[in-house]
Amino acid sequence: MGEDVPWPAPPREPGPWNGGPPVAPPGNTPLPPLPGASGTMGGTPATPNPWNQNPVPSVHIPPDRRPPGSPVPGPPPQPPGAPVPAAGSTLKPRAPIALRAVAVIIVLAMVAAGVLLVLKGGRQYPSEWDPKVKDIAEWVAEARELDYEHPVKVNFLTDAEYTEHATAGGDVTDPATAAYYDDQAAQLRALGFISGKVDLASANDTLSDSGTLAYYDPDVEQVFVRGTDMTPALRVTLAHELTHVLQDQHFDLQRMGELPSGEASVLRALAEGDASRIEDTYVDQLSDDDRAAYEEESQASGEDASDELDEKVPPILTTLFASPYILGPQLIDVLDQTGGSKAIDRALQDPPSEEALFDPRTYGTEALAAQPTTVAAPAGAEPIDDGEFGPTTWYLMLAARMDPKVALDATDGWGGDAYAVYRKDDAVCVSISYRGDTEEDVAEMSAALKTWVAASPKGSASATEEDGTIAFESCDPGEDAASAGDVSPDLLAIPVTRTQVYSSSLENATEDQASCFAQGVIDRFTTAQLTDPTGAFVNSEPGQAILNELRQGCAG
């Protein structure tokens, strides 16, 4: 490891940790069926060593950009309880009648103009790209080193049409739908993520529409765009969306709904991180005038979206929906550093476990082999949901009630888990069976959970350990209990810092040396020092001495 260690370059625009807007400016989209959105990383060129200027890497916190009423599981990584359509609910994709009529008119116009259609599997595709996007599509294909199998339709919608698409869904006055959202709120209260009565249906709609410009829907293989004017911001967004088109045609994004929740989470995050990488490159080649216009529109849209989310959406929802899009680009960067586009392709084809998303240093190691774990609702209880809880949600749950570094240490030992949600004695409860990689890991998680349980309303939660497995249960304390922890996307600053230091260090160090240095940075600096916007201690003589000591120690 050399004397000078390169530092992670921050995204182009300030994020929530250094005074910038916490939401992606006009945004890029989600990949249905998993609600979520990518972060827009546009702006001024990256600067070296963010700890000399911005000590914590800045990351945009994008809102959910679920296409209309996606009838699929919630956005992993997430705890049980994220407000997404339940299986069998009335939340089905649908387009407004006026929009369907417009689509018919467009098809007829294409036929009248003699535009041929490509037929594949009974579905029709345009034989040529829309002239508005053709140059962007060609640029994306070259930058991503993949060829399109065929063009796809790009729908340019009015603001009203786009909003109706983004927020379409079931009737929240329907008793079954209302009960579904009540259960989701109860689960989030049980995990200490919210307190009181929260209108999750309304919050979900806000997440679905705020601050977005477009989305690609692999179910119909079309892009939907807010607006008709090809502004620089919209062109940047289309570069992101057209990357999703390439991913879908080569790696089948539609299979997300068929994968286990952990793998689906990683696939979605990889897809968004990859698209953000191409988007960043597209911003780099903009002219000075276009970049200035892009930055101005992005800043304005980001501030508007941030204000609306702060007012209408509980922080945990923004955090849960955003976490794959904060963590995804970090994993993509590590893959790009170690194997380029081919390594990214392999990961998209065969997603690793969620542990690699939370800590990319584990990618390709034995640490990703999760231990089989099961849990079931107790006898007499009404089952509601089950699946994998995952390291990201463990970290967020713990960090909301303790020092994030303590939460990170406990989460790093994750060796597998399973959760079950059920109704018992009229209360919604969550049980989790947790396995650690080692006995020490189990002990660390057990200690962290004791701290978490102690901060819960009396009698609502418990954690016991037996034969290397932790049994955790927490029940909804009710709407009157003030039990929510301090949850925000800022909590992800610590694991993101570690990954960015690791990734940038790979330029001049081995993987072991880079891992040693990145972990040392987290271990030797306090949470306050790591997240101080001024970087006062890190840039001080004692702080620099610590860094030099770490460099020398990890070089051996």
Domain boundaries, the chain: 60-97+158-366, 370-487, 493-555
| Of 240, 236, 237, 327, the residue nearest 277 (C-alpha) | 240
Token pair listed for 76: 């992993």
Say which amino acid occupies 33: P
What contacts 342, CB < 8 A, 6 or more positions away?
A: none
| Of 335, 119, 333, 345, the residue nearest 250 (C-alpha) | 345
Token pair listed for 245: 């088109």
Contact 72, 257 (CB under 8 A): yes
What is the reported pLDDT for 367?
82
SS3 67: coil
| Of 86, 5, 2, the residue nearest 518 (C-alpha) | 5
Token pair listed for 543: 């702080």
**How far is residue 428's CA from residue 187's CA, in Å, rounded to a whole number?**
6
Find the helix packing angle between 159-167 and 200-209, rounded to 10°.
Answer: 140
Query: Which pairing describes strands 469-475 and 461-466: parallel, antiparallel, or unpaired?
Result: antiparallel
**Bridge partners of 433?**
418, 471
Contact 393, 78 (CB under 8 A): yes
∠ CA 49-236-360, nearest 5°, is: 45
Task: Print burial letters for 123-148: b (CB count within 10 Å at least 16), e (below 16).
Answer: eebbeebbeebeebbebbbebbebeb
Alpha carbon distances (Å) from 185 to 80, 81, 92, 190: 10, 6, 21, 9
Give a three-class secondary structure readout of 94-125.
CCCHHHHHHHHHHHHHHHHCCCCEEEECCEEE
CA 196 to chain centre: 26
**Bridge partners of 469?**
435, 466
Give a three-class secondary structure readout of 376-400.
CCCCCCEEEEEECCCHHHHHHHHHC
What is the reported pLDDT for 28?
36
CA 50 to chain centre: 23
The overall pTM is greater than 0.75: yes
**How far is residue 28's CA from residue 234's CA, in Å, rounded to a whole number?**
9
Token pair listed for 333: 């960067």
- Per-residue pLDDT for the chain (556 aa), expressed as one digit of tens each? 443 333 333 333 322 222 322 223 223 333 332 222 222 222 222 222 323 223 333 322 232 333 222 222 222 233 443 433 322 222 222 222 222 222 233 233 333 333 444 555 567 899 999 999 999 999 999 999 999 999 999 999 998 998 888 777 656 678 888 889 999 999 999 999 999 999 988 888 887 776 567 889 998 999 999 888 999 999 999 999 999 999 999 999 999 888 887 888 899 999 999 999 999 999 999 999 999 999 998 888 777 777 888 888 889 888 887 887 799 999 999 999 999 999 999 999 999 999 999 999 999 888 888 888 999 999 999 999 999 999 999 999 999 999 999 999 999 999 999 999 999 999 999 999 999 999 999 999 999 999 999 999 999 999 999 999 999 999 999 999 887 788 888 899 999 999 999 999 998 899 999 999 999 999 999 999 998 888 899 999 999 999 999 999 999 7
What is the phi/psi pair of residue 451, to 5°? -65, -45
